[in-house]
Amino acid sequence: MSDRRRVLVVEDEMMVAMLVEDMILELGYDVVGPAMTLESGLALARDEPLDGAILDVNLGHGARTTPIAEVLKSRGVPFMFATGYGSNALIEGFRDAPVLKKPFSMKEFTQALERLIK
């Protein structure tokens, strides 16, 4: 098993998931996922060794990543939300979570991920 840091990606848009995956790999981290559904994201959040996570707020069909964030929080895994809606889209209890506003550049992504995983 690799000793590189492991980052969970939960994103339902295939192109965005692939972009984020490429960015994470370019920074020298390992990708867990990407999970594209609430169910798969929950399973990975519960069962995988993780150093951090990037969660899209909305997964389509009304599904939100809040349950995944709750699992990560209970495990002490740092996470950030990625959203095009800004921090207004966040749910009570997670308003202090870091937010990466879509669309983002490689520089913005790098800075956010390095702050998240110190």
User: CA dist 67 to 31, 38, 53, Å?
Assistant: 20, 8, 13
Per-residue pLDDT in tens (0 to 9) along the chain, 118 residues: 568 999 999 999 999 999 999 999 999 999 999 999 999 999 999 999 999 999 999 898 888 999 999 999 999 999 999 988 766 666 677 878 899 999 999 999 999 999 999 8
Q: Is the dihedral of CA 89, 92, 94, 98 positive or negative?
A: positive
Report the CATH number of the 6-116 domain.
3.40.50.2300
Full-model pTM: 0.93
Nearest to 10 by CA among 51, 68, 61, 49: 68
